Structure 1
Amino acid sequence: MLNTFLIILSIIALLSIIFEDLTHINKAKTTLFLGCLSWVFLFVAASDPNQTKLIDNQLNDNLLEIATLWLFLMSTMTFVAYLNAKGMIQVIVQKIFPSKVSVRILMIQVAMFALILSTFCDNVTATLVTLGLLSTFELSSEIKLKMTVLVIFAVNSGGVALITGDVTTLMIFLSGHVQMSELLSLLIPSAISVIFLSFMFSYNAKGTVTTQEVTRNYQKVDVAIAVLFLTTIIMTMILNIVFAIPPVLTFLSGLSLMFLIGTFARSEKEEVQVLEYVRQVEFETLLFFLGILLLVGMLKQIGVLDMLANVYGIYNPDVSNFFTGMASALLDNVPMTAALLKADPTLSLSEWMGLTYSVGVGGSLLVIGSAAGIIAMSKVKELTFGSYLKYFPALFICYSLGYGLTIIIGQQLFS
């Protein structure tokens, strides 16, 4: 009875996100309230002290995961806020992209930029940087919305090809089921599906767009911080692979260096301004993350994710992988992947490749299905659950295309 009630709470939370435009109730507030309420009911319904202690341990584990994500997001978003305010991102864009370009070409260029960037760094950083890139172009609301959806799909697609790009890819790699060279082959279906989506979106797009003029008011210290940001991204990958250092620790170290550089390079008044960029972080996004992850943690606690893992084994793995990816658009793919790895299904290499692709890209089908989507929703006012949903057919086609190519390539290369 309790489990049914808690699942209903999760559905209400989802509906509050879907109908935010109608209710005008902020989705961060509803998800946070319902996420906290669900855990309160778990504690109230505990039958004995041992069960209470178990629930308390699970909540602490859940909060630790959330805190890690919060700190990582805060570090990344502070860097991006600083560089964006100083015009550094715009300058970099003008170096890479032409000042005037057709909408069709721009869509392909932005999609490939996001795809490649997300392969080497985490989805959060890739999303923030690419959205910062988009902000430098004078785009209509419709084109901006399409490009944002394209960025979300491209970021999630690029993340599956290397262990530095997506947590689920790293989990499957560490389990010993796929090798680094095998994962790199996922770049082929990922790139093809992203390019295909960019062609679909740009089919009726006409005209050209130009970059906004940039006032070059940055100083040497701003260039140093831009280099520090790039170095932090690179060191995050290297230190995580070589020494298994959590990415959040490296990024917090980079952020602290950013503040130290500001201390030695500026006056006391200017130093305060550097620290003020922390306040520009979208804390509404972090609260939304908190609510969503509390709800997912609750579903994990009551066994919903384990139940999905049991259902997974009933059907053909290729079919199960496909629908597991679709399910990751509603449920966090990290605990779902952990539940599947714990179940330890017997899969061929091509089937493990299919699972890696599906849980990494399937979250793109809904805007709440990935970190990239949630961040984009808080950054782009045109993007809502409803506005994103109308692109579901195109996203589903490209997800299916990429998944099918993954299976074919896996069978051809590794059978």
Structure 2
Amino acid sequence: MHDQLHLTTTWVGILSLIIFIVGYYFIATEDKYHINKAKPALITGTGIFMLIGLYFSLNGMDGHHLEKEVEHLIVEIAGIFFFLYVAMTYIEAMIDRGVFSALRYNLVSKGYSYKKLFWITGLLAFFISPVADNLTTALILSTVLITIDKENKEFLVPGAINIVVAANAGGAWSPFGDITTLMVWVAGKGEFVDFLYLFPASILGWYVTAFLLSRFIPDGEPPFNAEEKRAEILPGGKQIMGLFALTISMAVISHQVLHLPAMWGMMFGLAILKLYTYYLNTKLSVEVDTDGLVCQKLNPFSWIAKIENDTLLFFFGILAAVGGLHFLGFLEYFTALYTQFGATTVNIGVGFLSAIVDNVPVMSAVLKSNPDMGVSTHAQWMLVTLTAGVGGSLISFGSAAGVGVMGKLHGIYTFASHMKYAWTVLVGYLLSVSIWYVQFIILGIGA
């Protein structure tokens, strides 16, 4: 990477910051203006770099620097973009094969109450995300949530927040659970087992938030007709579930063992899914109608067509926008705060910044600047790992999991509906930080 430019006080820096703030405003007020969040994110991200390109051109600057920066950013965005692309395709495939309908039937037919279903989905999110990553986990369980009851917002909104918080908290104590934890691990700031010491802070912080949210869950049970036909997983459904687990494993192996991007393993998994559907189509039974034999063929492209493209484009836009601000030098101001206010204070603040901006570029800025963390260097890196992961839950689009659930529960789980209960997330966040302080600083466990 090239030396950081400092264009924050130039017209391009000031104008870019204004564009980012305006764009962020329209993202946050999606409910008010009914403008899909992908639109302001895209215009912000692409617009900032168009302005930077214009500035370079007008001032006769070497465009090679900008070109290299954009190439690096494209690789970073593509890694996330295609990871999500494949994960969403698999989820749509499982929806098509009745996997979530069957899970929903099994949960509802047992007579579980709304409150019990709330705790079951939260616990599943917390313990699946360390392996499957927080975004994939949130997408799967939010799909289950919306199939349980499509209309009861009193259940769906707290349930969605619970899944997002649980997925992010569960991802914080595993190197595979979140992109930011993976970045810290790969950078050598902690060994594999070091992240496991964040388990107490993660689970107790989530539990307190879940407990507070559960008080808003309505009594009673989801609507269930005793005569409702039992939902069964259709042919190929269980195999696709297995292929999805294999694909996630291939993503981890690609990154850790083969030195390839995680999305490479995901795309390999998509290729396997396509081959499997070809095989399945040759085995599926045919049914007879008045026209003769009709083959019930599966089409993977029909699954791809149903994925939340607005979520993918939102990520492209917001990561490009933050990448532009980083290129202009704005994130350097943030990392300079370590010297002025101390590592603990700033690392706690990282959680709040992660919620507003995005935890990936924030963590990237922290790692690139490699600030002086003081005497408790290891403990501080674990703190910033915890806060960057968990802090994203404070705002609905502060984490990949939140954005994914907003796409799944479109019009139900929104910025406004999340902020109504955001105080419960804040209480859990502050408790997680307090547990970290007692464990790492006072008791010295894991430090």
TM tier relative to shorter chain: over 0.9
Q: Separation in 2 of the partners of 1:309 and 1:142?
A: 40
Q: Does the alignment pair 1:231 with 2:246?
A: yes
Cα offsets for 1:61-103 (capped at 9, x unmatched): 2222222222111111111001112211232455678732223
For structure 1, which segment, 400-409 or 231-240, has the greater mean C-alpha deviation from structure 2 after superposition? 231-240
Determine if contact 1:78/1:278 at 8 Å carries over to the other structure: yes
| Structure 2 match to 1:404 | 434
| Structure 2 match to 1:370 | 399
Determine if contact 1:108/1:195 at 8 Å carries over to the other structure: no
| Structure 2 match to 1:45 | 55
The equivalences for 1:299-338 within 5 A come to: 299-338=325-364
Determine if contact 1:119/1:162 at 8 Å carries over to the other structure: yes
Shift of 1:18: 2.1
Q: Does the alignment pair 1:345 with 2:357?
A: no
Q: Separation in 2 of the partners of 1:34 and 1:132?
A: 30
> Paired residues, what number?
415
392, 409, 424: which one aligns with 1:394: 424
309, 315, 336: which one aligns with 1:289: 315
The equivalences for 1:147-186 within 5 A come to: 147-186=159-198
Cα offsets for 1:328-371 (capped at 9, x unmatched): 11222222222222222333122221111011111111112111
Other structure's SS at 1:135 match: helix
Shift of 1:238: 4.1
Other structure's SS at 2:221 match: strand
The equivalences for 1:257-268 within 5 A come to: 257-266=272-281
Flag structure 2 segments of 5+ consecutive residues without an equivalent. 1-10, 283-293
| Structure 1 match to 2:302 | 276
Rg (Cα) greater in structure: 2
Q: Does the alignment pair 1:187 with 2:213?
A: no
- Residues 1:414 and 1:27: Cα distance change in structure 2 (over 3 Å): closer
Determine if contact 1:75/1:255 at 8 Å carries over to the other structure: yes
TM-score normalised by the chain length of structure 2: 0.87
Q: Separation in 2 of the partners of 1:315 and 1:97?
A: 51
For structure 1, which segment, 365-374 or 47-56, has the greater mean C-alpha deviation from structure 2 after superposition? 47-56
- Residues 1:176 and 1:217: Cα distance change in structure 2 (over 3 Å): closer
- Residues 1:44 and 1:193: Cα distance change in structure 2 (over 3 Å): same
Determine if contact 2:102/2:233 at 8 Å carries over to the other structure: no
| Structure 2 match to 1:34 | 44
Determine if contact 1:329/1:362 at 8 Å carries over to the other structure: yes
Amino acid corresponding to residue 33 of structure 2 in structure 1: T
Determine if contact 2:154/2:218 at 8 Å carries over to the other structure: no
Structural RMSD (CA) = 2.2
Shift of 1:382: 1.0
| Structure 1 match to 2:290 | none
- Residues 1:109 and 1:299: Cα distance change in structure 2 (over 3 Å): same
Other structure's SS at 1:329 match: helix
For structure 1, which segment, 336-345 or 282-291, has the greater mean C-alpha deviation from structure 2 after superposition? 336-345
Other structure's SS at 2:189 match: coil
Q: Separation in 2 of the partners of 1:238 and 1:34?
A: 35
TM-score normalised by the chain length of structure 1: 0.93
Q: Does the alignment pair 1:360 with 2:389?
A: yes
99, 112, 125: which one aligns with 2:123: 112
Determine if contact 1:353/1:410 at 8 Å carries over to the other structure: no
Shift of 1:323: 0.6
Shift of 1:272: 5.8
Where is the helix percentage greater, Structure 1 or Structure 2? 1
Other structure's SS at 2:362 match: helix
Quote the sequence identity (%).
27
| Structure 1 match to 2:82 | 71
Determine if contact 1:136/1:211 at 8 Å carries over to the other structure: no
- Residues 1:63 and 1:204: Cα distance change in structure 2 (over 3 Å): closer
For structure 1, which segment, 145-154 or 47-56, has the greater mean C-alpha deviation from structure 2 after superposition? 47-56
Moved over 6 A (4+): none
For structure 1, which segment, 401-410 or 172-181, has the greater mean C-alpha deviation from structure 2 after superposition? 172-181
Q: Separation in 2 of the partners of 1:69 and 1:197?
A: 28
